[in-house]
Structure 1
Amino acid sequence: MTEKNERRLPVGLQSFTEIRRKKYLYVDKTDIIWNLANKNKKYNYLSRPRRFGKSVLVDTLQAYFEGKRELFEGLKIMQLEKDWVNRPVVRLDMSLGGADEQALRSYLDMAFRDYEKAWDVETVSGYSLANRFHNIIVSAYKKTGEQVAILIDEYDSPLQHSWHTPDHEACTSVYREVFAVLKADDQYERFVFLTGITKFTQISLFSVLNNISNISFEAPYAAVCGITKSEIKEYFRPEIASMAEQNGWTEDDTVQHLKDYYDGYHFSHNNMVDVFNPFSLINALADGELRNYWAASGATSLLPKFVDDMEIRLNDFDHSALPSTIIETSDVTGGGAELFLYQSGYLTIKGYDEGVYFLGIPNQEVRQSLNSIVLPALAMRRNGDMSWS
């Protein structure tokens, strides 16, 4: 294994293609990804917190469906895939869709124009976004003879950011209009994959695609995003040794500190493997120190929209319970604060019994993030109470 100063950690990178071409360190998940693409249902949805590797996963799927075999040399998928078919891919990154109807339509118009050019689709003045999406899918299929893979990353971003604003219903209407096409074009589609943080069931992605498979809680995909303790020891030994030396710790102490700060996520009660936040872990290993990287990346910005009185209810959230019918299937707009806190990574699964999930704060980084929010609010509340006494 090369020394740490010869290795390149993918700090902040979300492109599998860039990671592989520029020889950054890659934690090999390609066996899980191959099974998702070939052994699971056609329509799939994965919920994970922000900065948890969803975009790298989507980029890996895109490279796989486009048959870019050279990017996968030496990885586990090479023992599984024999054909390497170059299929057409339509990929939408909805984090670029803004927070209002105009921004959302503008992004989709721009994205569709690129695909219309790529697949030589005739554009007709006055065509709706839905008609254009349909024409792109059909044209890609007819020109290649291969079914299309459709990848929609961070599908819920415009809906989250428009929540509690007059633009939310208008954004929801755009989703209903455009994505109803996915069911109608089933015969042209090889694979449809959505990622997100929170679930908005009133849009057509879930109401029309009633056969969509929510793999967010399925045991085989518990560690498809994030990094496990065994993967840390397999892939990051030089970084662990360097961090230990830099801080005067043993290597075992270093792993334990990293675990305390960034580990503790569980995504399936049938597979309770501990999962580290990959964004924070890789930043900590690159810097050689423990810091709150996740909150600094903007992870707390949406909390006030979905959670009231956090400073009063924090202890209750840390020892809360939700029925499986709520946590696995409910809409975030009606599922309560605990559901949003789970989906966005502030709470995680601590246990399960007879249809009830028991939730708690996963690690020190998240606890510090929450405390940084609630302590000033508590101080203001106390000062306000004192002023009335």
Structure 2
Amino acid sequence: MNTIPDQRTKLHVGKPPIGLSDFPRLIREEYAYVDKSLLIRSVLDSPAQVLLLPRPRRFGKTLNLSMLRAFFERNRPENADLFRGLAIERAGEEYMAHRGRYPVVFLTLKDVKTRTWEDCLGHLRQVISEEFKRHEMLLEGEFLDTQEQKLFRKVRACECAGHELENSLRNLLTWLERATGEQVILLIDEYDTPIHAGYQSDFYEEIIGFMRNWLSGALKDHSSLKKGVLTGILRVARESIFSGLNNLEVAGILEAGAFADKFGFTEPEVERLLADSALSEKLPEAREWYNGYLFGETVIYNPWSVLNFIHKQPAPPAAHWVNTSSNDLVRELLESGGGDIRADLEALLAGGSLECQVMEDIPLRDIRGDPDAIWSLLLFSGYLKPVGTRTRKLKVFHELAIPNLEVEILYGRIIDHWLTRHIRSTHLDDLLDALTHGDVPEFAKHLQTLVLNMLSYHDTADGKGRAPEVVYQSFVLGLLANLGDRYRIRSNIESGLGRADILMSPTEPGGRGIVMEFKRLGEGEEMEEQLQAALDQIEEKQYPATLRAEGCREVLKLAIVFDGKQLQVRDNRTSPWPTKIS
């Protein structure tokens, strides 16, 4: 990990900077700051002229580029104090000598989210125009000839032709070096946002064509370029945009090295933030909800959710990050994958994992219906984490899992969306009401009805009319998704002396907790024996221990045994509830 021993400064202590990505303002107004200034050293040390740093949304990309701009940009003497006491200052004069030295071109495309190509191109014109206005000093001297001045004014006024717009970055870099005598630092934030918009709104070919010409003009063998740093979510297929760009280094989330800890929060950083807010005892909750990402070999927390978690205390943990997006694309892609995707998703929700060949260069136009491409996109977008690899026939396969409880909630919502398209919401509401009120006979009856109506939709049978218990478990998890605001719902979690299939802990203190243990009736087995075995397992393994530690005064223990599409439920207070429905 590329770090320097920490020295505590007042810059680390302050109110959480929710949604603030302006580095100078964050420092001057003394917001809490997790020191990522060694990103500057990593950029300068990299032998690559152009760096692409893909990370999930809201993982600090814009703030880090704002920091790079504040560090490198010339004629900004007021920025000198911003880096006092930070790790980059302690890294040595060889790095600080670059502060305030270069002209900087800074463009953020994060708001270029349009539904038509015409609107997209218009928005890009405006973004480029604003950056040209920042460099109007080029018109004041004799840096540009008459034709160049005319072209500059056309771009600034959003009146240039398409080919002139495509050459705008290349020309601006040339002019800035000519005027200052220094090569240029080029920073482009969220470069792939308009590409995602093109994919979703059917102007993919148009935006790919523009981005290819616009970026290659500035990045490919440009003598005026000192360093180029691009951020985004994905590495779009090299043949689409970056073909022929031999000076490009991609430091993605699977890469160990100098950039692995520069986006998102590490465990020591989260411990420090919580301690500064007198919340050290909240670390286990933060770890369960927001930890679990793995960038290279570095374990990372979701920074947006951690800051919101601190800001909203004493409120319980919540799904802060997944609620900042509609997640429509995620749901649509999962639906496009058919039965294989659904089976993998059910395994994930049951606490398992899936295996795929990760595609680092993702061809968006070909992604629908391709499980490997879909799971790869979800990995790079922050919805999955890598937990292992293996090589088979010279091909590398990654094992992927859900990173944390926050993301698990999103997948539960997607399953719920699928379910509600096939059943009346009143049936699901009746089941959930019966469960939360402890009415086991009614719960068993409604669960049986839903299994009869829905299990074939999930395509879970193994050819003998029976399904593995993990499928039943994940099916029930999907049904429980609507209780996410009233219960913390966890699956395959360590509790007592083993791993409980499902634990439900009420968000209201002192409420009734619920433990579920699932079994499938095998050949020659008796229903009564398996029901009792499930209840005995709950007791022997002490599954309720976690719920009692969380303040539950009462715990409802449910044994659920399936025989094909028939099921019975027994709780710790009653005889089994048969649910034969013809």
Map of 1:145 onto structure 2 = 181
Map of 1:96 onto structure 2 = 111
2:96 corresponds to which of 79, 82, 95: 82
Please state how far the C-alpha of 1:264 moved relative to its aligned partner. Answer: 0.3
Please state how far the C-alpha of 1:312 moved relative to its aligned partner. Answer: 4.9
Q: Which has the higher contact order (CA 8 A, sep 6+)?
A: 1
Please say if 1:300 is aligned against 2:324: no
Higher normalized helix content (fraction of residues): 1
Please state how far the C-alpha of 1:18 moved relative to its aligned partner. Answer: 1.5
The answer on whether the counterparts of 2:274 and 2:283 sit within 8 Å (CA) in structure 1 is no
Map of 1:287 onto structure 2 = 312
Please say if 1:369 is aligned against 2:410: yes
Map of 1:247 onto structure 2 = none
- Given the superposition, is the C-alpha separation of residues 61 and 10 from structure 1 closer, same or farther in structure 2, using an over 3 Å criterion? same
Where 2:285 maps in the other structure, the secondary structure is helix
Map of 1:162 onto structure 2 = 198
Percent of residue pairs bearing the same amino acid type: 26
1:71 corresponds to which of 61, 70, 82: 82
Please state how far the C-alpha of 1:225 moved relative to its aligned partner. Answer: 0.6
Q: How does 1:217-296 map to 2 (within 5 A)?
A: 217-219=254-256, 220-239=258-277, 241-242=278-279, 251-252=280-281, 254-268=282-296, 271=297, 273-288=298-313, 289-296=316-323
Please say if 1:23 is aligned against 2:30: yes
Distance, in Å, in 2 between the alignment partners of 1:359 and 1:314 is 11
The answer on whether the counterparts of 2:195 and 2:204 sit within 8 Å (CA) in structure 1 is yes
Distance, in Å, in 1 between the alignment partners of 2:305 and 2:62 is 16
Q: How does 1:369-388 map to 2 (within 5 A)?
A: 369-382=410-423, 386=453
Please say if 1:110 is aligned against 2:97: no
Amino acid corresponding to residue 336 of structure 1 in structure 2: A
The answer on whether the counterparts of 1:284 and 1:290 sit within 8 Å (CA) in structure 2 is yes
Please state how far the C-alpha of 1:61 moved relative to its aligned partner. Answer: 1.3
- Given the superposition, is the C-alpha separation of residues 208 and 276 from structure 1 closer, same or farther in structure 2, using an over 3 Å criterion? same
1:328 corresponds to which of 360, 378, 386: 360
Please state how far the C-alpha of 1:163 moved relative to its aligned partner. Answer: 1.2
Please state how far the C-alpha of 1:184 moved relative to its aligned partner. Answer: 4.3
- Given the superposition, is the C-alpha separation of residues 373 and 293 from structure 1 closer, same or farther in structure 2, using an over 3 Å criterion? same
Amino acid corresponding to residue 218 of structure 2 in structure 1: L
Distance, in Å, in 2 between the alignment partners of 1:266 and 1:319 is 15
Distance, in Å, in 2 between the alignment partners of 1:307 and 1:182 is 36
Residues 80-126 of structure 1: CA distance to partner in whole angstroms, max 9, x if unpaired? 22312431111221122233322332223223323333143523355
- Gapped runs of 5+ residues in structure 1? 243-250
Amino acid corresponding to residue 121 of structure 2 in structure 1: R
Please state how far the C-alpha of 1:183 moved relative to its aligned partner. Answer: 3.6
Q: How does 1:22-41 map to 2 (within 5 A)?
A: 22-41=29-48
The answer on whether the counterparts of 2:50 and 2:219 sit within 8 Å (CA) in structure 1 is no
Please state how far the C-alpha of 1:305 moved relative to its aligned partner. Answer: 4.3
Distance, in Å, in 2 between the alignment partners of 1:209 and 1:307 is 33
The answer on whether the counterparts of 1:50 and 1:299 sit within 8 Å (CA) in structure 2 is no
- Gapped runs of 5+ residues in structure 2? 1-7, 140-148, 155-159, 425-449, 458-581
Distance, in Å, in 2 between the alignment partners of 1:20 and 1:110 is 29
Where 2:187 maps in the other structure, the secondary structure is strand
Residues 213-261 of structure 1: CA distance to partner in whole angstroms, max 9, x if unpaired? 111133222221111111122233032x34xxxxxxxx44x21111000
Please state how far the C-alpha of 1:185 moved relative to its aligned partner. Answer: 5.2
The answer on whether the counterparts of 1:320 and 1:338 sit within 8 Å (CA) in structure 2 is no
85-94 or 326-335, which deviates more: 326-335
Q: TM-score, normalised by structure 1?
A: 0.87
Distance, in Å, in 2 between the alignment partners of 1:175 and 1:198 is 14
For the pair shown, the structure with the greater C-alpha radius of gyration is 2
Map of 1:48 onto structure 2 = 55
- Given the superposition, is the C-alpha separation of residues 236 and 370 from structure 1 closer, same or farther in structure 2, using an over 3 Å criterion? same
The answer on whether the counterparts of 1:172 and 1:203 sit within 8 Å (CA) in structure 2 is no
Please state how far the C-alpha of 1:303 moved relative to its aligned partner. Answer: 1.1
The answer on whether the counterparts of 2:216 and 2:242 sit within 8 Å (CA) in structure 1 is no
Map of 2:432 onto structure 1 = none
Distance, in Å, in 2 between the alignment partners of 1:71 and 1:367 is 39
- Given the superposition, is the C-alpha separation of residues 296 and 15 from structure 1 closer, same or farther in structure 2, using an over 3 Å criterion? same
The answer on whether the counterparts of 2:290 and 2:405 sit within 8 Å (CA) in structure 1 is yes
194-203 or 153-162, which deviates more: 194-203
Q: TM-score, normalised by structure 2?
A: 0.59
The answer on whether the counterparts of 1:180 and 1:204 sit within 8 Å (CA) in structure 2 is no
The answer on whether the counterparts of 2:103 and 2:183 sit within 8 Å (CA) in structure 1 is yes
Supply the RMSD in Å over aligned alpha carbons. 2.7
Q: Work out the number of aligned pairs and report it.
A: 372
The answer on whether the counterparts of 2:166 and 2:210 sit within 8 Å (CA) in structure 1 is no
Q: How does 1:331-350 map to 2 (within 5 A)?
A: 331-332=363-364, 333-334=366-367, 335-350=372-387
- Given the superposition, is the C-alpha separation of residues 94 and 305 from structure 1 closer, same or farther in structure 2, using an over 3 Å criterion? farther
Map of 1:187 onto structure 2 = 223
